[in-house]
Amino acid sequence: MGAEVAVCGPRSLLPSAIDELEVAVFHRIEQAIEWADALNILRLQLERMTAGYIRRCGNTIASLVCRANGWSARKRNVLILHPGPMNRGVEIDSDVADGPFSVILNQVTNGVAVRMAVLYLLSGGKPELAEAAKRGGGER
């Protein structure tokens, strides 16, 4: 669809074949912020931290948390998305989650309907049938 995609995270959380995909890879959130027009921040599952995939303390988590001070060098807006639930202070600061560039509440509110529509269309669905079903009639 013409989008450039990147991932950001420690090597232990990235797919082993990430280098085979056509994506940029960043290991520091500041690099991703500088590069991106939109950030879809995913939840760092606490159970992965105890399983040895990531250290909870130290520079690893500090380099991944999306913090408001990371925006200071930005010259343009970055759209902030997160599917929820959020671990505030673990993967995202409240200042970012609740900030002016966040669309997280809209995303959570409308996410299921949007994903259903995308999956419907990608699976060969016909929009005119969906519209007819919504009106209460339609072909079968």
Helix (H) or strand (E) holding 81: strand 79-81
Question: For residue range 30-61, what is the model confidence (pLDDT) as tens digits?
Answer: 888 889 989 888 877 666 666 666 655 444 44
Segment 54-69 mean pLDDT: 54
User: In degrees to the nearest 10, what's the CA dihedral of 107, 110, 116, 118?
Assistant: -60
- Using DSSP's 3-state secondary structure scheme, residue 80 falls into strand
- Check residue 138 and give its pLDDT: 47
Q: What is the DSSP letter of 82?
A: -
Averaged confidence pLDDT in the chain: 75
- Check residue 5 and give its pLDDT: 93
What span, in angstroms and rounded, lies between the C-alpha atoms of 52 and 47? 9
Amino acid of residue 22: E
Does residue 117 register a pLDDT over 80?
A: yes
- Using DSSP's 3-state secondary structure scheme, residue 67 falls into coil
Question: What is the value of pTM for the model shown?
Answer: 0.65
Give the closest residue to 101 by CA, choosing from 36, 26, 44.
36
User: Residue 134's pLDDT band (boundaries 50, 70, 90)?
Assistant: low
